[in-house]
């Protein structure tokens, strides 16, 4: 089994190098398939992790979900079953042995389709589970992923075959150690699905104030049940979740526009610029202006390297 995994990873590494050619994360010609390559330690990087399967082919990565740490390398795969604000960091990479990885995004509809087609049983009354996990990779899963990546060299075929192989990949994950977690997100009325509805609402209205009672109505739960299940899935309360989204959005605005910190604070939902500055500093390590200067200086160094 080890030899098989080694050959599969070697083939994937060659394909990622072939289709990237430079550092960064890049979309491929196959929808929902992304390749990443980095020749040095990168991070921390902040963003919202969409529902997806992530596989490191070479190197290692660390993902922080609030205070919970997920470490994974070539022997593992990471699954996010819902949208989650995370901090990521490439922990093993060098010019000679770059970090190489891939991501396959999926939708609730695709999971539900696989459940029905393969007649996979589901317990509707299971409690909510963490929306992110790491598992040991199996040759059958890596084989399906390798066959999907091979289609990049056969553009005539991938429109027909990629959806079929992607469905097999989802099936392999659903049959894996933590497959029940992924099943729950697609089952209407499950605690995880109800929490996902609240996550979607917060993501679409993060700049607005809300009452926890209104979120509980969206989830069709009591306030106490929503708090418990939301924290189980995300490791955060709804307010903490919203705060991370606001601060990530503010950082993106500060990087892309010439607006000052006070203006951006109001745009993402803060009433107090001083509170915004404190919380921004707590999350990113520096006040807004200094943090953006650091990021821009780092970007210049990378361009000039």
CATH code of residue 282: 1.10.10.60
Helix, strand, coil in percent for the chain, rounding step 5: 50, 20, 25
Residues 179, 261 share a domain: no
235 within domain boundaries: no
207 within domain boundaries: no
The last residue of a domain, from among 185, 203, 225: 185
Residues 163, 42 share a domain: yes
231 within domain boundaries: no
Residues 277, 153 share a domain: no
Residues 147, 56 share a domain: yes
Of 237, 245, 247, 240, the closest CA to residue 284 belongs to: 247
pLDDT for 188 equals: 72
Per-residue pLDDT of the chain (305 residues; tens, 9 = 90+): 668 888 999 999 999 999 998 899 999 999 999 999 999 998 789 999 999 999 999 999 999 999 999 999 999 999 999 999 999 999 999 999 999 999 999 998 899 888 888 877 666 656 678 899 999 999 999 999 999 999 999 999 988 999 999 999 999 999 888 888 888 887 777 888 899 999 999 999 999 999 999 999 999 999 999 999 999 999 999 999 999 999 999 999 999 887 899 999 999 999 999 999 999 999 999 999 999 988 887 653 333 23
- Six token digits for residue 22: 């430079």
Residues 248, 161 share a domain: no
- Phi and psi, residue 295, nearest 5°: -65, -40
The enclosing domain of 178 has a CATH number of: 2.60.120.280
3-state secondary structure 6-19: HHHHHHHHHHHHHH
53 within domain boundaries: yes
For residue 39, how many other CB atoms are within 10 A of its CB? 16
pLDDT for 43 equals: 79
Whole-number Å distance between alpha carbons of 46 and 39: 19
Domain assignment of residue 13, given as a range: 2-185
The last residue of a domain, from among 185, 212, 231: 185
Residues 159, 16 share a domain: yes
Residues 296, 153 share a domain: no
Residues 179, 69 share a domain: yes
230 within domain boundaries: no
Residues 36, 168 share a domain: yes
pLDDT for 305 equals: 30
201 within domain boundaries: no
287 within domain boundaries: yes
pLDDT for 96 equals: 94
Q: How many domains does the chain have?
A: 2
The last residue of a domain, from among 185, 208, 233: 185
Whole-number Å distance between alpha carbons of 204 and 199: 9
Of 219, 155, 154, the closest CA to residue 191 belongs to: 219
Residues 172, 287 share a domain: no
pLDDT for 115 equals: 84
96 within domain boundaries: yes
**Strand ranges (DSSP E) for 4-111?**
24-27, 33-38, 42-49, 52-58, 60-65, 68-72, 76-80, 84-92, 99-105
pLDDT digits (tens, 9 = 90+) for 32-91: 999 999 999 987 899 999 999 999 999 999 999 999 999 999 999 999 999 999 999 999
Residues 178, 77 share a domain: yes
Residues 279, 140 share a domain: no
């Amino acid at each position: 089994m080890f030899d098989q995994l080694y050959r599969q990873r070697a083939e994937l590494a060659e394909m990622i190098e072939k289709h990237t050619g430079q550092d960064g994360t890049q979309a491929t010609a196959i929808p929902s398939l992304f390749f990443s390559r980095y020749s040095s330690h990168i991070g921390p990087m902040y963003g919202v992790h969409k529902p997806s399967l992530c596989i490191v082919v070479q190197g290692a990565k660390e993902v922080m979900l609030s205070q919970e740490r997920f470490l994974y390398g070539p022997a593992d795969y990471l699954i996010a079953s819902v949208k989650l604000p995370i901090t990521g960091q490439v922990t093993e990479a060098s010019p000679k042995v770059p970090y190489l990885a891939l991501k396959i995004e999926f939708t609730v509809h695709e999971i539900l389709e696989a459940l029905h087609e393969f007649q996979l049983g589901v317990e509707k009354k299971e409690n909510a589970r963490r929306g992110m996990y790491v598992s040991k990779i199996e040759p059958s899963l890596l084989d399906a992923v390798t066959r999907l990546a091979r289609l990049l060299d056969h553009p005539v075929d991938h429109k027909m075959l990629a959806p079929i192989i992607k469905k097999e990949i989802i099936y392999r994950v659903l049959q894996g150690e933590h497959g029940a977690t992924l099943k729950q997100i697609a089952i209407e009325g499950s605690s995880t699905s109800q929490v996902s509805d609240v996550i979607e609402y917060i993501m679409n209205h993060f700049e607005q104030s809300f009452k926890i009672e209104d979120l509980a109505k969206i989830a069709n739960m009591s306030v106490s049940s929503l708090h418990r299940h939301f924290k189980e899935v995300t490791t955060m309360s709804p307010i903490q979740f919203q705060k991370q989204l606001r601060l990530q959005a503010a950082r993106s605005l500060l990087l892309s526009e010439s607006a000052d910190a006070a203006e951006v604070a109001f745009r993402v939902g803060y009433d107090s610029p001083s509170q915004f500055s404190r919380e921004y500093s707590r999350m990113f390590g520096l006040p807004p202006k200094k943090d953006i200067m650091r990021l821009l200086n780092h970007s210049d160094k990378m361009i000039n390297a």
